[in-house]
Structure 1
Amino acid sequence: MRNRVTFLAAIAIALTLAACFIVPGKFTSTIDVGRNGAFTFAYKGELMFATSPALIRQAQADSDEKFVAQCTDEDSFEDRSCSDDEIAEQKAEWDEAQAKKAENVARFSAMFGGINPADPATMDAFAARLSKEQGWKSVVHKGDGVFEVDYALTGRLDRDFVWPIFPGVEIIKPIIAIHRRADGSAEIGGPGLATADDQSARALGGLGPDAPGDNANARTEGRLTLTTDAAILTNNTNDGPARAGARQQLVWDITSGTKVAPKALLKLD
């Protein structure tokens, strides 16, 4: 009984920790960078919490589970009726674990802007808040911690650019990061697109790779396209740059097996 209660509490903690680990689902994304530092970034498709949908559904069901005392005969290992003392002891353990779980969920949820992947209402509210932020043209919670989003932003690379950033969320794992160097060049990277074997959210929650539920990263499938009129100094695409009208183009096909994050270095004016 104690082991089961402890395990369910660990699931709840892992779910809320997963709020800072957003991974791409099915998507298309483009980055256009001008040699003058102007850029446009767009992402259309799914964003998902790294925790698997199966684990989220399990936690939702467990949150509605009622206390039931369980006792087993030590000789036959068959179920038997519990004594009043056994019921009281198990109920005390249950109440203690439930209180600790609620405390941990509330603490981590506060760190992540009130998000709790096991509570659909908080996810819907998160989508509504996000849709009011600059660049987020559409945000729809599809269920099971999966969002359908349409994002586009135009700006200048006079500072670093990191995406996504969520209001009220203290910790994130960037999917796209652009860094402007002191020499004027710009590093274009997709750290969150290397999702293969990423167990970080589950590990933080105390869940190993063999814990119940598939890895949400298995759904990652998309393409990142970078276009530019700047000189391409380095890149790690398979095919290198190709002409796209007056610009050059780099393409990365991303899957759940992608282990190396997209990278390119551009020389800007």
Structure 2
Amino acid sequence: MKQIFKLMAALSAPLLLSGCFLLPGKFNTNLKILDGDRYEFGYTGQIQMTMPDDGKLKKPSNEPFDPAKLKCRDLVYKSDGRVDAQRPVYGDDYDRYGKDADPSIDTDNLSYDVVDRDCTEEEITKRKDQYDREQARKLKRYNEESAMAGAFFGGPIPGDDESMVAFAKKLSKYRGWKKVEHAGGNIFDVEYSETGPIGNYFSFPVLPDAQMQYPFFQIIRRSDGAVELLTPGIAGQGSLFNMMMMKESGGKAPKISDIDGVLTVETNGTVVNNNSIDGFAEKGDRKMMSWKIGKNAETEDGPRALIRF
């Protein structure tokens, strides 16, 4: 098991490094694999994009430094009148001497008084320089993470509504995407349906311009002509994939909405094996299989099936 874990960690290193993932949300999927050479696929529900920091990049404020928001104070010791200048506090920064910092402290028993005063020009200049450097650093990090997210997903940046709406319009131009709407946050409501020859490979979803793809469902042709159903991109919060992600990212995984879906597969081929709880039911010349996926899943394994014709 340790060797498998290490192998998965190595293969997934680029994803773990970025913390970017594409996952389903609530959905319903229907797949027909017929005659060994054609498929009919439909997906209705949610797709969610996840990132570190609860999946939301925060663009730093472009508000200029305001000296009026700078608070300067001295500690004046009661015993000898000694004055100890304190570090200036700006805006919403933590203020250890603020009124609400620690209400349990009995100020009457302190050995000093906290005395507000005007800030010196030197203190204002020093704190402004620090503020400007902090803003520049935050903006640089935001731009780098935004560019990385945009590259991974092919344009959309979780947390940036404008880019998410633009991506929805872009994706709706491609075949199969009947509906793509940004539902707020990092979630899209989608309707996708497509039919065609199986060929050697079918995958959903495929994102245009994305450097990484995260297929929920795959149909792959084997060399003997059999068709295999795989679901590599479906991972719940308790899965090995996400446990590994938490381990590699220092114990904090991106926040995701519930994965809660149903996959129904219909075929007129011979089902060699499948891992659905109830196996398959026959209806005429068709075999029907169904899996619950996500929080209501009846197994930790992703749906799999092998079908021959």
Q: Which TM-score band (shorter chain)?
A: 0.7 to 0.9
1:136 aligned to which of 161, 177, 188:
177
Inter-partner Cα distance in structure 2 for 1:55 and 1:104: 14
Q: Report the Cα offset of residue 189 of structure 1.
A: 1.2
Inter-partner Cα distance in structure 1 for 2:128 and 2:61: 20
Partner of 2:36: 36
1:170 aligns with 2:169: no
Aligned positions of 1:153-168 closer than 5 A: 153-168=194-209
Give the conservation status (yes or no) of the 8 Å contact 1:35–1:267.
no
Partner of 1:4: none
Kindly provide the amino acid, as one letter, of the partner of residue 55 in structure 1.
D
65 and 237 in structure 1: CA distance in 2 versus 1, 3 angstrom threshold:
farther
Q: Report the Cα offset of residue 66 of structure 1.
A: 4.3
Partner of 1:230: 269
Partner of 1:150: 191
1:89 aligned to which of 122, 127, 130:
130
Give the conservation status (yes or no) of the 8 Å contact 1:113–1:168.
yes
110 and 22 in structure 1: CA distance in 2 versus 1, 3 angstrom threshold:
closer
Partner of 1:219: 258
Report the TM-score when normalising by structure 1. 0.78
Inter-partner Cα distance in structure 2 for 1:200 and 1:102: 29
RMSD: 3.3
Give the conservation status (yes or no) of the 8 Å contact 1:195–1:257.
no
Report the TM-score when normalising by structure 2. 0.68
Partner of 1:55: 54
Structure 1 or 2: larger helix share?
1
CA radius of gyration, larger in: 2
127 and 70 in structure 1: CA distance in 2 versus 1, 3 angstrom threshold:
farther
Please give the secondary structure, in 2, of the residue aligned with 1:85: helix
Share of identical aligned residues, percent?
27
Aligned positions of 1:89-128 closer than 5 A: 89-128=130-169
Q: Report the Cα offset of residue 24 of structure 1.
A: 1.1
Structure 2 residue runs without a partner (length 5+): 1-14, 74-85, 88-94, 99-115
Partner of 1:254: 293
221 and 67 in structure 1: CA distance in 2 versus 1, 3 angstrom threshold:
farther
Kindly provide the amino acid, as one letter, of the partner of residue 295 in structure 2.
S
| Offset from partner CA, 1:71-123 (integer Å, 9 cap, x none) | 9947x943686923243134323313322331342244245322111211111
Please give the secondary structure, in 2, of the residue aligned with 1:193: coil
Aligned length: 245
Inter-partner Cα distance in structure 1 for 2:198 and 2:225: 10
Structure with the bigger RCO (C-alpha within 8 Å, sep 6+) is 1
1:46 aligns with 2:46: yes
245 and 71 in structure 1: CA distance in 2 versus 1, 3 angstrom threshold:
farther
2:223 aligned to which of 170, 182, 191:
182
Q: Report the Cα offset of residue 145 of structure 1.
A: 1.4
Structure 1 residue runs without a partner (length 5+): 1-13
